[in-house]
């Protein structure tokens, strides 16, 4: 599977991701839900924006870490999505993230 295919699959599967995450990692699922609510988004929309944010704003080191994790993981698609979501939860709010821009558009 090519990286572009994995990114497309990650975006497409974001709707089911929260339910799967709640069953496998409730603490991370709660963080995603809390962050999404704070940014006035549904969890699936927030996950899609996390993928978009990673694609647009991750640095070379982040990409290298992602590629290594995908290469070493049993399920590359899940590893990819989890890594992008975790990255988005960990980056500081700099105003450049898609989810923040969407929330501001709704308010303004």
- How far apart, in whole angstroms, are the C-alpha atoms of residue 10 and residue 16? 10
Does 8 score more than 70 pLDDT?
no
Burial of residue 74, with CB atoms counted within 10 A of its CB: 0-12 exposed, 13-18 middle, 19 or more buried: exposed
pTM to 2 decimals? 0.73
Token pair recorded at residue 25? 């990692």
pLDDT digits (tens, 9 = 90+) for 72-95: 878 787 888 889 999 999 986 655
Does 17 score more than 50 pLDDT?
yes
Mean pLDDT of all residues belonging to the chain: 78
pLDDT digits (tens, 9 = 90+) for 20-42: 788 888 999 999 999 999 999 98
Mean pLDDT to the nearest integer, 40-51: 88
- How far apart, in whole angstroms, are the C-alpha atoms of residue 20 and residue 61? 28
Does 98 score more than 70 pLDDT?
no
Packed helices 3-12 and 14-24: angle between N→C axes, nearest 10 degrees: 80
């Amino acid at each position: 599977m090519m990286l572009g295919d994995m990114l497309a699959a990650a975006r497409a599967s974001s709707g089911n991701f929260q339910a799967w995450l709640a069953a496998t990692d409730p603490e991370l699922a709660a963080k995603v839900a809390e962050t999404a609510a704070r940014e006035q988004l549904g969890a699936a929309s927030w996950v899609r924006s996390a993928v978009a944010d990673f694609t647009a704003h991750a640095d070379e080191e982040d990409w290298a870490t992602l590629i290594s994790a995908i290469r070493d993981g049993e399920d590359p698609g899940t590893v990819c999505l989890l890594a992008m979501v975790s990255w988005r939860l960990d980056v500081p709010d700099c105003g450049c993230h898609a989810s923040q821009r969407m929330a501001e558009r709704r308010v303004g």
